[in-house]
Structure 1
Amino acid sequence: MNTTNHYNTIVIGGGPAGLTAGIYLSRAKLRTLIVNEGPVGGQMVLTHEIANYPGVESISGYQLASIMKKQAKAFGCAIRSNILISDVELKGETKQVTLSDGSSYTSDSVILATGGRSRTLGVSGEDTFKGKGISYCATCDGDFFTGKEIIVLGGGNSALEEAVSLTKYASKVNIVHQFDHFQAFEHAVEEARNNPRIDFILESSITGFYGDEKLESVDIKNLKTGDMTRFKTDGVFIFIGYMPNTEFVKDKVELSQWGEIIVKPNLSTNIEGVYAAGDSIAKRYRQVATAVGDGTIAALSASAYLHELKTKKQLTTA
């Protein structure tokens, strides 16, 4: 075994869950490596404002991610980001993670904190106009639509909260949602309904995107009557949920029918020494605060497992 590349725990994913796990494990003097395929922070960095994180009145997702990263590194956590994972081996006492540059790392335990990604609508023209009028990130692209009329598709917390945020730029925001009610928290619904720049197109969905070099219009279908309307718009922001980033472990740990990692109360998976946390696990609520809680539980559970493992080895060699 290459001891230089061996860790007590490898955390796969550098969002709030993964960073929290890294903080707890490193602070407990456990050799820890966080591996992340994108920039550190995950989906959190795309959030313009986080105002419901306990103890913090208001902060951007990017700022919060930067603080968490700094904390983890200060405790000695190693971080590798913006690199692809080629393969993982989770069974057995020694786990292994291989990266796209050919480097390989081993560990006694693994925490899967792979997060999720924006769910796409999957209709005609969506791929064509991604980045040309279609966006999945209000923080990234809101400023491009200053003074313009746009659409927000979705009815959950993200859709309504980002719709309100986008009114800082857009002259008008039309929320298109497939149901006659919203799945968001009541305060988010009220804030959107009380905003004079927001209109609602309910029981409807977008069935196509059209334009020349950039998006110019969409087809909106009334799901109750079947009527179709060609609707002119300068942009569409799609917030219809996230898909868990679990494809690379689909044959390695137990997943739900939706691809979420199934965990026990201590966030252990069906594989000994492997834990999971954050948006990739099967759970109801997905917030930064819940991801942080998951990361904490997974780290403490992994720590307990590592302690038991060390004790067993000492008894065996005694």
Structure 2
Amino acid sequence: MPFAHTIERLDVTRTSTGATAELVVHRLTGDRPGPTLVMFGGIHGDEAMGVEAVRRVLTSLEGAELSGTVVAVPVANPFSFETMTRHTVQDGLNLNRIFPGDAGGSITEQLAAALVGVLEGADHFIDFHSSGLYSTVDYAYLHENGREMAEAYGTPLLYHHDSYSGSATAWALEHGIGAMVSELGGGGQLTEQFLDRAVTGATNVLRALGMLTGEVSPATAEQVVMTALVTLRPSNGGTLLSDFGPEHLGERIPQGTVLGTVVDAGTFEVLETLRAPFDPSILVLTRESTSRVAPGDYGFMVGDGATTSTVAEELAG
């Protein structure tokens, strides 16, 4: 059977204006039998990097000698993608916290139910995320069912952690589907570099799963596994002046180091200082030099360097 690429428009519901809410589903069928890998992008609408990562991965596979099937939904939440928001404006829900959804529920619940229908029957799953509009991130989630995928993906930092309840990944793992989450880029920083890494990483995953021929490219740096990761959120809104941009991602810094300062945008009064909580702290999510921030926003994400191990150490143990 020759390589084939088909596109289906999956009707989900109808909006109050009479417009059809739909998901676009790509299906790449290989020349030879093999497993089925599902990919999602755009579960969060302010993470456009995930949408583009899926497009570039699919484009790179055109005409490839593929074993099995790749099924992809580039824009898993078209409503939040339209408004560039993490949540769906129509019902205020976070799509990645309500799986398996409800086919008779609100718009976001119906999207989740439709996406479950896409996931059913999959062997493997990659969920492409990034940071939002003003911050940049660099890591991947490591789950035991999907470990081979996460290690092959090649990010220097892996987070060994249970999936968030109600996420697409949690649903996949609960149903025996090997899964990983890519968290690369965001904030308009180093965009091409992160997208190139997403394509290279996905290619490595396909090779590790036997869906593409060739050897898995070795990681460019020793992979570190984190088991403790926290998000530092400012309690005050204003302007966040960051001391650590994306060029510092992955660095280890001493406890107490100032990461950024929140100042009043009008009076310039210093409202809050965000500091590294661990010794050492590993920078996982950073902010560009200056950005608007609201109370509770993602300020920085840091891993506890004292609790890490390397992939090589975990394999040896």
When normalised by structure 1's length, the TM-score is 0.24
When normalised by structure 2's length, the TM-score is 0.24
Higher strand share: 2
Larger Rg: 1
Higher relative contact order at CA 8 Å, sep ≥6: structure 1 or structure 2?
1
Higher helix share: 1
